[in-house]
Amino acid sequence: LSLKFGDIGNLKGLVIRLLLTTSYYQLSVQNWFSLQRLQLLYNHSVQATFNATRIYAPASYSFHCEHVSSLQRYDALLIPSSANDISKLWEVTFIDFQIQGFNIQEGHFAYAKDCASFLSPAILMGLVMSLILLLVLAYALHMLIHLKSLDRHYECKASPAYFAQMKDSDMGDEKEPLRSSGNESYELRSQQFCKIYI
């Protein structure tokens, strides 16, 4: 597949050539196409050659990627063909790249296989945040389940307003004089005000 820039200023002699191949894989029981190499030609001479990696899709699909580039910050899907090649002097970046070499119908791209992996950084961050929220929710439910109400185990009753008159023989058991300055007062020791159930 050759892309020519026609008569656009200084680019009219520039051609981008994409070498596509198709292969049949028994595991998926279908044909897949892949981009093998990208060549930059200027005035009919090859200026740079890049080997393509991970650019493939089923033959009935198209391939889409936000960035196809030779730069490391874009994950470098295009690699110079050799260490001594002048390709290293070139920086190639395609933005919103989509390609389909086979089974094209009515001049439109088929459904696109995207280059984004399943575990992209955004998806990983979402999974981590979901895990943290689940842990917080589980801890809150654990605390609610083990929460004990005081009303079930503690019953408080008001002290009675009427005290029966006691005999002098029982006064020694039921009351005890409190030592104070000059006046004699008594403390009831057998009166029960609260009940605690354990």
- Tens digit of each residue's pLDDT (9 = 90 or more) over 75-123: 888 988 877 777 888 889 999 999 988 888 888 888 888 887 666 677 7
Q: Looking at residue 139, what is its pLDDT?
A: 93
Give the mean pLDDT of the chain: 77
From the list 58, 55, 46, the residue with the least C-alpha distance to 74 is 55
- Is residue 8 pLDDT above 80, yes or no? no
| DSSP category for residue 127 | H
Residues 6+ apart with CB under 8 A from 31: 22, 23, 24, 25, 58, 59, 60, 102
176 and 186 Cβ atoms separated by less than 8 Å = yes
Q: Which residue has the tokens 């029981």?
A: 29
Give the start-to-end residue ranges of the domains of the chain: 2-116, 119-151
